[in-house]
């Protein structure tokens, strides 16, 4: 069984989130500033899913 951790984002998460987004082709990849804005100002409605120390998903409402 794989353990996943779901938590609210921290402002420091935006770099790892942008790395995950780069791998989500053919989805449009946003500029890093967009992910930084979400992690800074929308941290109560943005989630990250981790598998160990690897970010596997980012979600915002």
Q: Give the burial class of 37: count Cβ atoms within 10 A of its Cβ; 0-12 exposed, 13-18 middle, 19 or more buried.
A: middle
Identify the pLDDT of residue 61: 64
Identify the pLDDT of residue 21: 83
Residue appearing with tokens 């780069």 = 22
Tens-digit pLDDT profile for residues 11-29: 998 898 888 888 877 767 7
When the pLDDT of each residue in the chain is averaged and rounded to a whole number, the result is 84
Lowest mean pLDDT among 18-22, 36-40, 55-59: 55-59
Identify the pLDDT of residue 11: 92
């Amino acid at each position: 069984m794989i353990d996943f951790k779901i938590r609210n984002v921290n402002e420091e998460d935006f770099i790892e989130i942008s790395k995950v987004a780069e791998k989500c082709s053919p989805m449009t990849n946003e500029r890093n500033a967009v992910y930084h804005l979400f992690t800074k100002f929308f941290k109560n409605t943005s989630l990250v899913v981790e598998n160990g120390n690897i970010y596997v998903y980012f979600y915002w409402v």
